[in-house]
Amino acid sequence: MRQEWLEFLQRVDWNTPVTLALTSAAVGSVITLTWISARDARERKRQQRDTGLELALSLESYARTCRTMMHKAAWAASEPADPMSREASKGVSIPVFAYPDRLQWHVLSRKVISELREYPATVYAAREYVEAFREFGEPIDLCGQVEYECAKAAMAALALARTTRRRHGAARWKPGAKDSALERELSDFIANAEEKRKASLERRMESTVDRRVDLQRFKQVLSA
């Protein structure tokens, strides 16, 4: 088949008006299609960059909101243990998160969309956990839990925002003086909180062991 096409092209008279017109039209069509394809690619890349930037901005804004809630939780926890402390803790909770409306999700890949959509679900799960904790825990414990969960949510938001900016060619985040150390502060808080949690768990385990030993000794005395 290839040989036949070569023979056909060799027999064609390329100097006839019809042949020149067809060739010119074909070349023009190729050039037009190439230009349209390049234009569409540039437009899609621009849309991805704009959408990625909008997503990143919303995530970074949420991280700042979480930090504000952490301060509010710390203030509520400092209240004396009385009905006022319960009143102060009522407004302490993990902030709601939602992406902006009318985002051009269609310009993003399915994998990217899936990763971004998982974050609000994670925040929702943390909110549900804290609200269940509110029902049974003391205000000071609730405030500490909110601080910890807000710090984790903020760190995750900043990490996802950074990845989104890089992936879609958006400009890097340049936080102001107020937010310049935000990520480091969150990281330090999480590390300290986890260390305290670990120490508290070890103390509870030691207390449980001591109670079991005392109970065993008491039983031995009764049986003597």
* Average pLDDT score over residue span 124-140: 84
Residue 85 pLDDT greater than 80, yes or no: no
Give the H/E segment covering residue 135: helix 110-136
Token digits of residue 36: 């349209």
What is the domain partition of the chain in residue ranges? 47-214
pLDDT in tens, 8-46: 545 555 556 655 555 555 555 555 555 455 454 566 677
220 to 93, 110, 128: CA distances (angstroms) = 49, 66, 46
pLDDT in tens, 166-212: 988 887 877 766 767 788 888 888 888 888 767 656 656 655 554 55
30 to 9, 35, 41, 44, 76: CA distances (angstroms) = 19, 9, 16, 21, 69
* Average pLDDT score over residue span 64-71: 92
Cα separation, 86 vs 84, in Å, equals: 5
pLDDT in tens, 137-147: 777 888 888 99
What does DSSP assign to residue 12? Answer: S
